[in-house]
Structure 1
C-alpha cells in the first residue's frame, strides 16, 4: 500500500467514524504519542520528546473541550484529564518518564473503558457483541 493510499484510508476512517469511535481514536493517538515521547527521552532527543508530548497534550485538551459538562460523570473525568495534562507538562519540562507513565496509565484506563462502552453500544444497537 502506498503512502497516498494509506493517507486516503486514514482520512476515510476518520470521516466515517462515529463520535464514539473518534474518541477511541483520540485515546489511541494520545497513548501512541506518549510512548513515542518516552522513547525520545531514552534516545536523548529533546525536540521529538517535546513534539510528541505537545501532540498528546493537544489531544487531552480536545477531550477536555468536548467533554459534556452536563453529564454527571464529567465532574469525575475532568480532574483526571487535568492530572494527565499536568503530568505531560512535567514529563516535558523535567524529562520525566515516570510522569509520562502515570499519564499513559490513566489514558489507557480511559481507552479500555471507552472500548467497553462502544462494545456495549454496538450490542444494544445490533444485538451482538463486536470487537472495538
Structure 2
C-alpha cells in the first residue's frame, strides 16, 4: 500500500514539475547513479555498475539534446562539457576502472551545483 502511494507521489512530482525542476531532478539523478556505479565497481557488481553508469549516460544524453544551443557560446561550451562527461562515463562503463569514474564524479557534482545555484538565483528574481 505505501509503496504504491510513493510511486504515485513520484509520478506526480515528475508530471507536474517545471522545466527547471526537471533539470534539477536529472542532474541530481546523475550524481546519484554515478556514485552507485562507482560503488558497484568497488563491489565487483558488474551488472549494477553497467546499469547505473548507463543511466547516468542517458541523463547526459537528455541534457545534451534538451540544451538550447541558440543562446550563445556558453551553451555550446556546456554541450561540450556534457559530451566530455558522457564520453568518460562510457569509458568508465567499458573499463570498470575507478580512476575514470573518480575523474568524472566531481564534474557531475559541479554541474549539479551549477544548476542548483542558477535555479536559486532565478527564484530570487521571479
8 Å contact from structure 1 (residues 83, 103) kept in 2: no
Structure 2, unaligned runs of 5 or more = none
Report how many residues are paired: 125
CA drift of 1:40 comes to 0.6
CA drift of 1:34 comes to 0.6
Structure 1: distance between partners of 2:87 and 2:29:
18
Give 4+ residue runs of structure 1 displaced > 3 Å after superposition.
Answer: none
Aligned to 1:6: 6
Structure 1: distance between partners of 2:3 and 2:102:
31
Query: Which whole-Å deviations, capped at 9, do the CAs of 1:7-55 have from their partners, x for residues lacking one?
Result: 1111111111111110010001111111111111111111111111111
TM-score, L = length of structure 1 = 0.90
TM-score, L = length of structure 2 = 0.94
Structure 1: distance between partners of 2:28 and 2:103:
16
Query: Which whole-Å deviations, capped at 9, do the CAs of 1:81-130 have from their partners, x for residues lacking one?
Result: 111011101111111122212222111111111111111111111xxxxx
8 Å contact from structure 1 (residues 31, 108) kept in 2: yes
Three-state SS of the structure 1 residue aligned to 2:12 is helix
- Provide the alpha-carbon RMSD of the alignment: 1.2
Aligned to 1:41: 41
Structure 1: distance between partners of 2:89 and 2:61:
12
Structure 2: distance between partners of 1:97 and 1:19:
33
Confirm or deny that 1:108 pairs with 2:117: no
Structure ranking higher in helix proportion: 2
Three-state SS of the structure 1 residue aligned to 2:70 is coil
Structure 2: distance between partners of 1:116 and 1:77:
15
